[in-house]
Structure 1
Amino acid sequence: MKSLTAWPRNVALYLFLLCWTVPSTVLAQEPTIRLAGVVSEERIAPLLEALMARIPRAKLSYERLSAAQIAAAAKQSANAPFDIALLSSPDIAVSVANEGYAASDETVGAVAPVQWRNEVFGFWPDPAVIVLRRDVFTERMPRTRIELVRALEQNSSRLSRRVGIVNIGIDDVSYLLASQDSIRTSLYWRLMRAFGGAKARIYDTTDDLMDTLQAGELDVLYNVPLSTLPIGENMLEGMEIIAPQDYVLAVPWVAFMPKGAPNLGDARVVLRALLSPVSKPALSEVGLTYSKGFPGLDSLQSIELGPELLVFRDTIKRSKFLDIWFQMVVD
């Protein structure tokens, strides 16, 4: 039988070995930080590679989800299916945070270009632009909303079925842009009526809109996020991107961490890396950038993060807004 005096020595030796071996085991395991976003896996790949290069011990996984799916998943009380969400619908992110489902981090907030309550972090303002076919507007290219309205009203027959817009009842970003337009210019509903007069084609998604543009079937596109367009040498021949001279709306791409994320500690490290200036080249590869020489962005008006974004998410207000929009554009 072992003496009682032997036990303290044995316990001390056990604790020593435990402290020596556990760190090695932890370091050998690569934590997996799960990201969810609204862009394709192919498009996001350069950004993930850049982040993993900056944090060698981290392993990143990615799943493409819609903004609605991201919001629903973030509201799970525990075991959210992702640690970081990246999306282009700041109003939805603010709604999630406002309901108490987003984790707070002051350190991340300190490096973010814009943030709200240290829970929703903006990392790039996406300008909404107009795309026009040059040979259709030979006399003068419309560069303001009033010029676009007049061009549509005066050439409704020639432009019939040649105008493309995205369904704001389906696409979250398009709805946000429409609602923000309506409070910034008294011309908005006149412009929607002009779209209706030109029998504008309405698409469920921006991808559908781009497919029709590439087929050469459209001459006018309105409120198109710059991030969805090929820029420079890849731009479609004969088309010109117009940043409206009256004002350019910019939708902030945002990130947040759900409170139910199982790996919040490592997610904070990745999010700080994403929001740091050194990640800009990787964001550029993903298409979340624009040339410093891109004309017309002096009038950029970035949509601010905050509870004001929730006004048009009210069910009754949204329903009324959509009713008027469809009356103008479709009827």
Structure 2
Amino acid sequence: MARTFWIRYAVLCLSLIAHVLPEHALAQDRIVRLAGVVAEERIAPLMAALAARLPDVDLSYIRLSSAQIAADAKRANAPFDVALFSSPDVAVSIANEGYAARDEAGVTAADVQWRQEVVGFWSDPAVMVLRISVFADRLPRTRIELVRALEQNSDRFSHRVGIVNIGIDDVSYLLASQDSIRTSLYWRLMRAFGVSNARIYDTTDDLLTAFRAGEVDVLYNVPLSALQAGAVMPDGVEIVVPQDYVLAVPWAVLVPKGAANLRGARIILNALHSAEIKPALAAAGFSYPDDFTAFESLQRIELGPELLVFRDMIKRSKFLDMWFQMVVN
């Protein structure tokens, strides 16, 4: 009798589990969580467009730093299903450590990808932003012209150059390290910033706010997407695409292995590369102006293990020490 009772009890439990689990799985399929480094108001047009493509999905977004995303992506139960990175070296580092989900089908529409785990969806050129009135003759359009203008007019440009702290901002650090291996002028330019007593800001948003307020006149290595997504620049300002070369940083997407909704994440991955989403990407700053002519000098930063070189702690520490010696001391 007792044995019969326990058999019936076990059957009842199994039937309840079989009934509950599909509902739980279905609920999970209805939720897709995105994490990224950009502000909620900037990403809002993209989120709206993605939500329109997924009407039965509860789509959410949380803004985190690159370090927070990297830490959370390594958790067994990641608190997001898709991560958007402005600093692809961080994404490559996560994948290199084995915490990214591979998706062979999801990367077919992508022009840039690494190991089918890190996918690029837009290349972000770094430009100069200059106030025309402070340059007597002509605007500098190459790095050597900018260096000479600063060296020959140190009084005029004293406290009028704005840069982002590469020890805080991941994209600025990546651009600085890539600059240093592409041109011998890099450290001379940093020295010129130091002689000019450059103002140092924590973020690109802070830098652009200061420029619009008239606090500075010269900006270097500003991501074009930040300009495209921000407020209109005042009159008398020109966005200069360097003629010697233009660094382009790939924005990257990664799905952590611990994502609760891998299927939903892959749908988002595909949607980011669809033609229908392009207007929303443009509204979030991911577009080129009609007169953008940088492609001849564009140097795209490749996704791959070479991005890990400057993430080495010893190399990073030495690079930052040199940078602060040049710019601050």
> TM-score under structure 2 normalisation?
0.90
CA contact (8 A) 1:73 1:81 kept: yes
Establish whether residue 132 from structure 1 lines up as the match of residue 130 from structure 2.
Answer: yes
The Cα offsets for residues 293-314 of structure 1, whole Å up to 9 and x where unpaired, read as 2233421111000000000000
CA pair 57-94 structure 1, distance change in 2 beyond 3 A: same
CA contact (8 A) 1:243 1:297 kept: no
- Offset of 1:231 from its aligned partner? 7.5
Name the CA distance, whole Å, in 2 between partners of 1:158 and 1:289: 34
- Offset of 1:233 from its aligned partner? 9.0
Which range moved further: 36-45 or 159-168? 36-45
Name the CA distance, whole Å, in 1 between partners of 2:27 and 2:226: 40
Name the CA distance, whole Å, in 2 between partners of 1:35 and 1:147: 42
- The match for 1:8 is none
- The match for 1:56 is 55
CA contact (8 A) 1:89 1:172 kept: yes
One-letter amino acid of the counterpart of residue 229, structure 1: L
- Offset of 1:277 from its aligned partner? 2.8
- Offset of 1:212 from its aligned partner? 0.9
Name the CA distance, whole Å, in 2 between partners of 1:24 and 1:101: 28
Name the CA distance, whole Å, in 2 between partners of 1:116 and 1:143: 33
- The match for 2:221 is 223
Name the CA distance, whole Å, in 2 between partners of 1:289 and 1:236: 20
The Cα offsets for residues 159-192 of structure 1, whole Å up to 9 and x where unpaired, read as 0000000011111000000000000001000000
CA contact (8 A) 1:38 1:86 kept: yes
One-letter amino acid of the counterpart of residue 57, structure 2: A
One-letter amino acid of the counterpart of residue 173, structure 1: V
Establish whether residue 289 from structure 1 lines up as the match of residue 287 from structure 2.
Answer: yes
Name the CA distance, whole Å, in 2 between partners of 1:168 and 1:25: 44
One-letter amino acid of the counterpart of residue 94, structure 2: V
CA contact (8 A) 2:28 2:260 kept: no
Name the CA distance, whole Å, in 1 between partners of 2:307 and 2:137: 39
Runs of 4+ in 1 over 6 A off after TM superposition: 22-30
CA pair 197-49 structure 1, distance change in 2 beyond 3 A: same
Give 2:254's match in structure 1, choosing from 247, 253, 256.
256
Give 1:311's match in structure 2, choosing from 309, 312, 316.
309
- Offset of 1:230 from its aligned partner? 4.6
Establish whether residue 95 from structure 1 lines up as the match of residue 93 from structure 2.
Answer: yes
- The match for 2:72 is 73
CA contact (8 A) 1:112 1:122 kept: yes
Name the CA distance, whole Å, in 2 between partners of 1:303 and 1:270: 24
**Corresponding residue SS for 1:191:** helix
- The match for 1:122 is 120
Give 1:280's match in structure 2, choosing from 270, 278, 281.
278
- Offset of 1:59 from its aligned partner? 1.8
- Offset of 1:25 from its aligned partner? 10
The correspondence of residues 185-200 of structure 1 with structure 2, limited to 5 A, is 185-200=183-198
CA pair 32-290 structure 1, distance change in 2 beyond 3 A: same
Segments of 5+ residues of structure 2 without an aligned counterpart are 1-14
One-letter amino acid of the counterpart of residue 78, structure 2: A
One-letter amino acid of the counterpart of residue 218, structure 1: V
Name the CA distance, whole Å, in 1 between partners of 2:280 and 2:180: 34
Name the CA distance, whole Å, in 2 between partners of 1:23 and 1:95: 35
CA contact (8 A) 2:40 2:61 kept: yes
- Offset of 1:119 from its aligned partner? 0.3
Question: Percent of aligned pairs with the same residue?
Answer: 70
One-letter amino acid of the counterpart of residue 298, structure 2: L
One-letter amino acid of the counterpart of residue 199, structure 2: R
- Offset of 1:143 from its aligned partner? 0.1
One-letter amino acid of the counterpart of residue 85, structure 2: L
- The match for 1:3 is none
Segments of 5+ residues of structure 1 without an aligned counterpart are 1-14
CA pair 139-34 structure 1, distance change in 2 beyond 3 A: same
CA contact (8 A) 2:82 2:265 kept: yes
The Cα offsets for residues 100-150 of structure 1, whole Å up to 9 and x where unpaired, read as 000000111111120000000000001100011101113111000000000
Name the CA distance, whole Å, in 2 between partners of 1:103 and 1:233: 37
Give 2:212's match in structure 1, choosing from 214, 219, 229.
214
One-letter amino acid of the counterpart of residue 42, structure 2: R
- Offset of 1:41 from its aligned partner? 1.2
CA contact (8 A) 2:212 2:233 kept: no
Name the CA distance, whole Å, in 1 between partners of 2:27 and 2:324: 57
> TM-score under structure 1 normalisation?
0.90
**Corresponding residue SS for 2:296:** helix
One-letter amino acid of the counterpart of residue 158, structure 2: S
The Cα offsets for residues 213-253 of structure 1, whole Å up to 9 and x where unpaired, read as 11101110000111111579922221110010000001110
One-letter amino acid of the counterpart of residue 49, structure 2: A
Which range moved further: 49-58 or 100-109? 49-58
CA pair 60-324 structure 1, distance change in 2 beyond 3 A: same
The correspondence of residues 238-253 of structure 1 with structure 2, limited to 5 A, is 238-253=236-251
